[in-house]
Amino acid sequence: MLVLLSASLSARMVALPLMAATALGALRLYPNELPPARHPDLLAVVLYSRAMVFAGRVTLLCLAAFAILSIVARIARREWLLRAGPFEVERAAAISERERDELKAELAEWRTENARLQAVVDAISEQLATVTRSPEENKRAAD
């Protein structure tokens, strides 16, 4: 509730219907009827009560929501799963976008350097061509 006091108006307008929907969803999770236990003992009475079934359903729902939100958050931060139990993705196949962007920037720098060096080579080739020409060819080229 403290979050609602410090949040902006738009956040409050989203949070209030979300809280109402959550409350209605929680009411739908509460079991109306349970079949009677065949041989009720203390453990069956405790674990087979409406409150325990409701708590189990809410727990499963929270775990599912946590898993989904965790996956969405990791995707938003561009973190990818590399290992799950004994299975592991090769590092070469799991190159991150940050590394890819760094490689693209490095490639752009090398292309710029290549263009500059190509211009230098062309200028040197042109100067070499003028030096190796005969004096008559230089006069004709100047005219």
Q: What is the DSSP string of 45-105?
A: HHHTSHHHHHHHHHHHHHHHHHHHHHHHHHHHTT----EETTEE--TTTT--HHHHHHHHH
Which phi and psi (to 5°) does residue 88 adopt?
Answer: -140, 140
Q: pLDDT per residue over 59-106, tens digit each? A: 888 888 898 888 888 878 777 666 776 766 665 555 667 788 888 999
Which phi and psi (to 5°) does residue 124 adopt?
Answer: -65, -40
Model confidence, pTM: 0.43
Q: pLDDT per residue over 12-54, tens digit each? A: 777 777 777 777 777 777 777 777 767 777 777 677 777 788 8
Domain parsing of the chain, residue ranges: 1-30, 105-142
